[in-house]
Structure 1
């Protein structure tokens, strides 16, 4: 199975785009692969995101603990007859955490109860996550907050309070509870649990300042690859598929009491003043304006 889109129905309804993805997948993967999409379990999201006429399986996702079977019945309307296996393609075993928040956790009992309500009636679920790894670099992603201008970065951990922890631990209540549910509903034999991985402390790690960003800016940025534009460019226009873009704009004050006015800020601006000998941080402007 290969997923060609994820929750697209929550953001758009461009069927030409979805049909193109199907053609692209078939061209490189052939016709023996089952293609599927995942959308939230509502009429509107499935109507927007499903592509029934291309024989693409429409899976659903929903909050862990919701009654799954009314959603699975709705799912059948967006699949061909006899081809609507009830599948929760994003069964959260925990929840994500943003920077600055307490680590999100869910109980083993509530997660096991929700999984049992699916598996023991011959439904299927993709555990998200079964094992939580680490997002290296800038793969961690982010969400918006109460408004589209509020940027909430996810932690670099992909643990999500998963049953198999980031360091491989399985001797925990959630793993054992989900293991029992899978055994009860499917008859899968229970094998002995593997031993946890040994861990050791690194002790106190001291960080030492080596250079300021301005000291190394010219060394880490290739001048030939810097994009120059009158207007900020989107990530797509620069060929960037993930991570961050650094936008730099310089303004020269007209006098000793010049005022820097930035009326509309979507996310974050860091302002510096060039004092000739060094750059002084003037301050942060965060989500000011609408």
Structure 2
């Protein structure tokens, strides 16, 4: 990002003088008094859910590193932040390893939580990390105006269906679309988010897909697979779902048609690759 400094010295001086007699950001006062004062957040540039997969490569790295950020001018003394783990699927106790705190080394405003696990996990695990207590009283969990708990979801996935969960990109040229694949209601069902953006920019959708033991794809009757309201043709549904998937490679090759009213499109195809 370009920064323009020309002719700003006079403006900065003038604004500083005005600021002495006007309202000021309380956080600015806090920072000027204590440059290590601030708050901790999970890195917003990271995926909203951390997904790992087991059962594919016995030599694969078996840890998940979750990034955090300290919003403060400096961190010369270092910082740790305690957290709790609450299971959402399966039982993580005795299965995963972790320190119980996020670590921000001295001089760094970037912290991490590291979760270790084994490739021998028998079934999928899901849990939520909740930040609780910082080691310094001049640091808060989340922005001071935010009263909600600061949480992050983690999944360690095993199996044909769960192994497909995660964040994907498509093979369509000149797009930067991403898609989230999550669990559906049925044991063999996944939900692919926002495939509608392939047809209408910014459109959101939830597409139901069934995954067989061999990775082949199918779908429910089209009236049970609402797509979205297309601005040109109205309510649109997904039908004739077919294709293949590879949970270890993180590939979904899906074909389908779209139905609207008494009409339908020709075959549509997109390949999704896990990020």
Could you tell me the TM-score, scaled by structure 2's length?
0.23
Q: Pick 1 or 2: higher relative contact order, CA cutoff 8 A, min separation 6.
A: 2
- Greater percentage in helix: 1
Bigger fraction of residues in strand: 2
